[in-house]
Amino acid sequence: MRDKFPAFEDPRYLGYMSVDSIKAKANRPLLPEYGPNKEENKKRNQETRLARQVLKDPNLMDAIFRNPVTGAREPLASPQRLDMLAKREDYFTYYSDKQLRQEVREHWGRNPPIEVLLWWANRPLTGDSEKDHQTQLAKELLFHHRDLVAKLFKK
């Protein structure tokens, strides 16, 4: 999607895309991919299909329009925001606050001490999937969901 950002740009907010601009692309009819305009139509159809695919994934939509600092949903997304998402390769990138809250409770119970989170976040990945899962969860919370950490962990 990052490579096709200009196609999804909201004409009202140049340099940004919005949910409305993605919906507008998704709602376009597909064009025939033959005849004199076949290359242009193929390109347009790819953009339409991509928009439809993105709209089908609520976690991806939330990730695209989530403020990385506050976690709040924003109306616009920039190319830089998509770059940040593309560079993040951790398991929890598309998790909502509700899903993260559930993960915390499953691994550390209700209202665990903040020291637990700090210990796991400072741990290196080991190749043990269960332990690495908790390490990645701790890092996701500390670096991308500080507001949630304040609500879930005792100081």
The number of distinct structural domains making up the chain is: 2
Stretch 27-32: mean pLDDT, rounded?
A: 96
Residue 119: phi and psi, rounded to 5, are -60, -50
Stretch 77-87: mean pLDDT, rounded?
A: 84
* Residue 92 located in a structural domain: no
> Based on the domain organization, do 104 and 66 belong to the same domain?
no
33-80: pLDDT as tens digits:
998 999 999 999 999 999 999 999 887 888 888 776 566 789 999 998
Strands 13-18 and 76-77: antiparallel
Task: Show the domain range for 25.
Answer: 2-87
* Residue 56 located in a structural domain: yes
Give the SS3 label for residue 112.
coil
> Based on the domain organization, do 75 and 6 belong to the same domain?
yes
Q: Answer whether 137's CB lies under 8 Å from 103's CB.
A: yes
* Residue 31 located in a structural domain: yes
Report the C-alpha gap between 108 and 121 in whole angstroms. 13
> Based on the domain organization, do 32 and 70 belong to the same domain?
yes
pTM above 0.85, yes or no: no
